[in-house]
Chain A
Amino acid sequence: MSNTIIRNIIRFFVLVFVQVLIIKNIELGRFINPFLYILFIIILPFETPKWLLLFIAFILGITIDMFYDTAGMHAAACVLMAYARPAILKLFSPRDGYEFGTQPTIQYLGIPWFLSYAGILIVLHHFILFYLEIFRLQEFFSTFLRVIVSSIFTLLLVVISQYLFQRKKEQE
C-alpha cells in the first residue's frame, strides 16, 4: 500500500515536470496542445477514496495552473474529470467487477477498454479547459477542432507512456 502511495507521489512530480518543462515547450501548431499530466488521474488505483480523488485532481490542476498562468482553469477541468471518473469506471466495469489491487491501465484491462475509458476522460478535460480558456462562444468551431485534435494527441502520449511503464513492470 505505501509502495503504491510513494509510486504515485513520484509519478505526480514526474508528470508535472514533463508537462511544464518539456511538453509546454514543444510547438505542434496552434491547434495541438497535449496535456499528458492528466494521465496521473486516469491511472490512479481503483480503490482511491472518492474525496481523495477530487482533492488530488484539484492540487494537480492548481500546480499546472501556476506554470501556465491560467488561475483555476486546469484545476476546474481536472476536478470535473475526477468527478466523472467513478461513473465512467462503473459504465465500463467488467461483469464481475474490477480485481482488487489493480489499476485502470492497458496492462490489466487491455487496449480497447483503456482507449474508450481514457478517451472519454481526456475529451471531457480538454473540452472544459479550452472553453474556459476562450470564455465565449465566438470561436466555437475552431475551439472544438482544437479540443478534438489535442485530445487525440494526449491520448496518443498517454498510450505510449503506458507501454513504457508496462515494460518496466515486467522486468521487476
Chain B
Amino acid sequence: MRNLAVFIAKNYFFFLFLFLETFCIYLIVQNNRFQRASFINSSNQVSATVLSTSANIQQYFYLKSENERLAKENADLHSHDQLAFSILINDTYTSGDTTYRKKYVYTSAKVVNNSTNLRNNFITLDKGSKQGIKKNMAVISSSGVVGHTQNVSENFCTVMSLLNSKTTISAKLKKDGSFGPLNWDGENFAYASLNDIPTHVKLLKGDSVVTSQNSTMFPENIMIGTVDSYYMESSKPFYTVKVLLSTDFKKLTHVYIIENKLREEQEALEIKTEAENKD
C-alpha cells in the first residue's frame, strides 16, 4: 500500500494528466449520449451574456440589410395574405367541427451565437423556457429551414443547426412528393445532400426541395433549398441530390421557433402502436 502511494507520488504528473484527460473524455462521451452536457455549453449564463452582448453590437452592422429583408418579407406577407396564412400557419380542419384548430405556434428569436465552419455547428438563440421554448422544436428563418432546438435554459436555447453531422431532416421534392433523408456532408455550408430519391424521378436543376409531411417537428412545405446536381450511388437504385440551401447560414440574425401543438399527441400514439405490434 505504501509502495503504491510512493509510486503515485513519484509519478503524480502522469496520474494528474490521466485524471484530467479521463474527465474530459467523460464530458465528451456524456455530451454525445445526452446531446449536451448540461452546464458546459453556450446556453449557460456567463458565456451567453458575453455572446449576446457581442451579437447585439454585431447586429448594428447588419441593420440596413436586415431592415430591407424584413420590409420585403412584410410586403410578401401582405400581398399573398391568404396563401401565406395557409402555408405558414397550416391550420388543420377536423370534420364535425367548423372551427379551425391551431397546430403550429411561431415565436421569433434573435441569433446570439452561430458558427458555420465546424463539422458540428450549433446556434444559440435568445429565447428560452420562460418564453415557452422546449426541446426539439423546429427553427426556420424567413428563407428556409435552420435546425431544431436542443438545450433550453431560462432565457436562451441552443439549436442543432442543419450544418451538423447529427442532423437529419425528412425532405421531399415539391413537384412530385418523393421524399428522403437530408443531411449535411460537411463540405460547404451552402449545400446539403438529399438521399434515396428513386431514379424514375425526372430531376431538373432548380427544383424546390421542401420539408416533408413525415416530420413531427417541421410544418410541411417549408423551403429547404433547390436541386443543384445529382448522381446515382454505385450499386443503389437511388439518386443522391446535392441541394443548394436557401438559408444563408452566414447571415442568420432573426429566426422563428415553431411549436407543433399536436406533436406529443402524435408521437405518443405512434410509440404506443409500435409497442403493441412488437410482439
Contacts and interface: CB of A to CB of B under 8 A. Distances in A.
A79 B46 contact: no
Interface of B: 12-14, 16-17, 20-21, 23-28, 30-32, 36-37, 40-42, 44, 46-47, 50-51, 54, 58, 113, 115-120, 122, 124, 158, 186-189, 250
A138 to B, nearest CB: 10
Interface in A63-86: 65-69, 71-73, 75-76, 79-80, 82-83, 86
Contact of A72 (B17, B24, B51, B250): B24
B31 A71 contact: yes
B3 to A, nearest CB: 22
A29 B118 CA distance: 10
Contact of B24 (A29, A33, A67, A76): A76
Interface string A1-28: 0000000000000000000110011011
Contact of B42 (A61, A69, A72, A134): A69
B21 A76 contact: yes
B117 A30 contact: yes
13 contacts: A33-B117, A51-B12, A61-B24, A66-B46, A66-B47, A69-B41, A69-B122, A72-B25, A72-B31, A72-B37, A76-B21, A132-B28, A133-B118
Contacts of B36: 69, 71
Nearest to B41: A69
A27 B117 contact: yes
B27 A51 contact: no
Interface residues of A, number: 38
Contacts of B42: 66-69
Given A50-B13, A71-B28, A135-B32, A27 B51 contact: no
A73 B119 CA distance: 13
A133 B27 contact: no
Contact of A67 (B14, B47, B187): B47
A104 B186 CA distance: 37
Contact of A54 (B17, B26, B41, B188): B17
A50 B118 CA distance: 32
Contacts of B24: 58, 61, 72-73, 75-76, 79
A154 B37 CA distance: 28
List the 5 closest pairs (A to B, CB-CB), nearest first. Answer: A72-B27, A76-B24, A71-B31, A71-B37, A72-B28
A61 to B, nearest CB: 7
Interface of A: 20-21, 24-25, 27-30, 32-33, 50-51, 54-55, 58, 61-62, 65-69, 71-73, 75-76, 79-80, 82-83, 86, 132-135, 139, 142
A135 B113 CA distance: 24
A68 B117 CA distance: 12
A125 B136 CA distance: 34
Given A27-B250, A72-B25, A79 B119 contact: no
A68 B128 CA distance: 19
Nearest to B123: A69
Nearest to A132: B28
B188 A76 contact: no
B173 to A, nearest CB: 28
Contact of B54 (A21, A50, A58, A86): A21
A134 B32 CA distance: 12
A26 B54 CA distance: 14
B15 to A, nearest CB: 10
A134 to B, nearest CB: 6
Given A51-B12, A133-B118, A139-B186, 12 more contacts: A29-B117, A30-B117, A58-B24, A61-B24, A66-B42, A71-B36, A71-B40, A72-B31, A73-B24, A79-B24, A80-B17, A83-B17
B40 A66 contact: yes
